[in-house]
Amino acid sequence: MSASSAEARRHRVEHILSSVDPRLAPALREALARPGPVPRPDAGQTVVLCGHRSAGKSTLLPRVAGLLERRGVDLDAHLERLHGRPLKTWVAQAPAEFRAAERRALLELPQGGLVAVGGGFLSHHPDALAGMFTLIIPITFETYRDRLMADRTRPRLRPDVSLEEEISSVFHQREALHARVPTIALVDFLRGCLHEEESP
């Protein structure tokens, strides 16, 4: 790898770190500087960005796409275009139908791409991610709460309780479900991208 391409890769990694939860960024930078796993996706393996609502998956999608030199697909936006239905009303009116559609949409995409899935995908469809390079985007509960309290455009998942109660219960329930699914930590993925510079 040339010095210019290595520098461009480091710049892209830094751009990704500057886009994650600011409460986590300093610790991620420290972890990235230490030795650790260096996972890399295979050429034909689909890379999936997973994580909680408001973790920043859609923001990171084009930045990870640039790092991997792959075209990125936002699955929620893809579903809205495919079905002509606004996500917010679809999730509220027919949640089971939406969950089936998002699972089907991911599995129908060509292999070897890069996809950002919705906040519930990892907890609802863990088996659909078998064989994929599942990259989890971290977020603290404090940042998750702040972002969701400020963003009223997102669909309510539990309208029978207050928004505050919904935010807390959904986050902690999904945290437990996420922990059961094999995923790649963002910092390990980025270390793997930087490690590639050293490859002959």
The pTM (predicted TM-score) of the whole model is 0.93
Based on the structure, what is the number of domains in the chain? Answer: 1
- Domain range holding 113? 42-188
pLDDT category at 152 given cuts 50, 70, 90 is confident
Sheet of 133-136: strand order equals 72-74, 114-116, 47-50, 133-136, 184-185
* CATH number assigned to the domain comprising residue 63: 3.40.50.300
* Contact call for residues 11 and 196 (beta carbons, < 8 A): no
The b-or-e profile of 104-119 (16+ CB within 10 A means b, else e) is ebbeeeeeebbbbbbb
Tell whether 47 is covered by a domain.
Answer: yes
By the 8 A CB rule, do 67 and 16 touch? yes
| Tens-digit pLDDT profile for residues 98-148 | 999 999 999 999 999 999 999 999 999 999 999 999 999 999 999 999 999
User: Mean pLDDT throughout 155-167?
Assistant: 93
For residue 50, is pLDDT > 60? yes
Whose structure tokens read 């990892």? 122
Q: Which residue has the higher pLDDT, 39 or 88?
A: 39
In a domain, 69, yes or no: yes
Is residue 2 in a domain?
A: no
Residues 52/121, Cβ–Cβ less than 8 Å: no
Question: pLDDT of 15-25, one tens digit each?
Answer: 999 999 999 99
Tell me if 7 is assigned to some domain. Answer: no
**Does residue 6 form part of some domain?**
no
Mean of the per-residue pLDDT values of the chain:
93
Instruction: Report if residue 79 sits inside a domain.
Output: yes
Q: Does residue 104 sit within a domain?
A: yes
The mean per-residue pLDDT over the stretch 136-163 comes to: 94
Confirm whether 164 is domain-assigned: yes
